[in-house]
Amino acid sequence: MTINAANTVTEQLTAAGRAIEHDSFAIIDAEVGSHAYSDEQWSIVRRMIHANADFEFNGLTEFHPQAINAGLAAILKGGTAIIADVEMICVGLSATRLAHFGLFTHQFISDADVIEQAKAEETTRAVQAMRKAHRLGLLENAIIGIGNAPTALIEVMRLIREENLRPALVIGMPVGFVSAAESKALLAQIDAVPWIGIRGRKGGSTLVVAAIHALLGIAESRQRNVA
């Protein structure tokens, strides 16, 4: 099933670009064969594979049962904030696609007050960036994308457990060797908040971008079908 074959906003802007992307997806489908994901889940996993040519994400990627519907609801209502742990995610997301849905991004990792607080409390900038977003009221009902900093994901988990934070969706895919796998294991234990995650050390900001772009594509398809 091709979920976004007739999309316009969330497709490549040129016919040549669209052909290359569609051919790439067809190659991935052919090489993977059968898989355990739903059609909408697979559209996300496939785009993640497309982002870095790593077929291990077929199997490593996990979904909370409500992840897809929660993410789409947040996108389609408009005005939803996407809070990222690093600027790379914000830069990687298509401004045109975000604008179509009235979405906006925030990241605070390099803010002077975040850096100073991290030094004062001997924590990481990523932790303080999430705390700042929470103080500003930006995390509630937001889509949170974490692709770089395991400490940011651990802090979000703490806020969910201890301060009753309820984001719309957490996309937790930090990469690395210190606490990356552990942070994602914590995410997989969360029931109260929908999430998309990856088992193990692999991850990265490009994967978060790919997952969000895939969700935007599904959202456009749903928009088109109810129009």
Degrees to nearest 5, angle at CA 41 with 35 and 47: 90
Is 50 assigned a catalytic role? Answer: yes
List all residues 6 or more positions away from 57 whose beta carbon is below 8 Å from its beta carbon: 45, 48, 49, 198, 202, 207
pTM: 0.93
Residue in 22, 35, 50, 106 annotated catalytic: 50
Alpha-carbon span 145 to 136, nearest angstrom: 17
Q: What backbone torsions phi and psi does residue 19 show, to the nearest 5 degrees? A: -65, -45
Inter-residue contact 122 to 146 (CB < 8 Å) = no
Residue ranges of domains in the chain, CATH in brackets: 15-226 (3.40.50.10230)
Tens-binned pLDDT, residue by residue, of the chain (227 aa):
344 457 888 877 788 888 888 899 899 999 998 899 999 999 999 999 999 999 999 999 999 999 999 999 999 999 999 999 999 999 999 999 999 999 999 999 999 999 999 999 999 999 999 999 999 999 999 999 999 999 999 999 999 999 999 999 999 999 999 999 999 999 999 999 999 999 999 999 999 999 999 999 999 988 877 75
Instruction: Kindly give the pairing relationship between strand 104-106 and strand 81-84.
Output: parallel
Inter-residue contact 121 to 128 (CB < 8 Å) = yes
